[in-house]
Amino acid sequence: MPHPRRSDALRNREAILNAAREVLAQPRTPISLERVARVARVGQATVYRHFPDRRALVLAVVSDQIAAFARLAASRADEAAAFRSLLDTVLQAQLAMRPLVHTLRGLPPDQQRRHIDQVVALLAAPLSRAPAAGHVRADLGPADLTLVLTMAEAVIDTTADNPNHLVLAQRAIALLLDSLLPRTAPP
């Protein structure tokens, strides 16, 4: 039978995950366990006790992010208009956590796919309610969400060296979200 973790171990793990999220939200900053330990104000050995390597830490952060998104989606389950803001939340995280995205892109394709599929699955229920309420195009399906995430990633990546990177990325996200609105008949 597994032993429950001590409260200090749980606090340390949470501090490490918070520090990792902070480090992963800094553009062009590769994640290192040493840096995470410094930000979390714990020793490197403590980080290694919880996460044997950088990949394990990144995967834990991804799982945490997906769990947080699942909680947000569940809290808005009855809102027909929730889909657009939930998708915007995902796209904003994709923009904000570039080192995390780059690390994920280094994973084997089946692991990358698993994480994308989890996000798409969380968006599927809000998406299914949105067309009837007139909040998205009727022809938009869950498979299209992978395309939307891929398009956003392409813009975010290709504009990274532009001094107006964030403005361009935010504009691209707004255009993507607007393209999901129902089509109107021409005048």
Same domain, 120 and 66: yes
Does position 51 have pLDDT exceeding 60, yes or no?
Answer: yes
In the block, tokens 């553009």 appear at 27
Decide: 92 and 173 in contact? Cβ < 8 Å. yes
- Residues 94 and 171 placed together within one structural domain of the fold: yes
For 80-90, write each residue's pLDDT tens digit: 889 999 999 99
| Lowest-pLDDT range of 66-80, 95-109, 126-140, 151-165 | 95-109
In the structure, what pLDDT confidence band is assigned to residue 47 with cuts at 50, 70 and 90? very high
Please name which of 11, 60, 10 lies closest in space to residue 33, comparing C-alpha atoms.
Answer: 60
Of residues 151 and 3, more confidence is placed in 151
Amino acid at position 55, single letter:
R
Tally of domains within the chain? 2
Largest CA distance in the chain: 69
- Burial (CB < 10 A; 0-12, 13-18, 19+), residue 1, is exposed
Same domain, 129 and 45: no
6 and 93 share one domain: no
Determine, yes or no, domain membership for 186.
Answer: no
Same domain membership, residue 43 and residue 68: no
Domain containing residue 43: 1-52
Residue 184 maps to a domain:
no
Asked if 137 contacts 182 with a C-beta cutoff of 8 angstroms, the reply is yes
Query: Is there a single domain that holds both residue 42 and residue 105?
Result: no
CA distance linking residue 180 with residue 137, whole number of Å: 6
- Residues 37, 83, single domain; the answer is no
Helix or strand run (H / E) with residue 24: helix 7-24
The pLDDT value recorded for residue 186 is 45
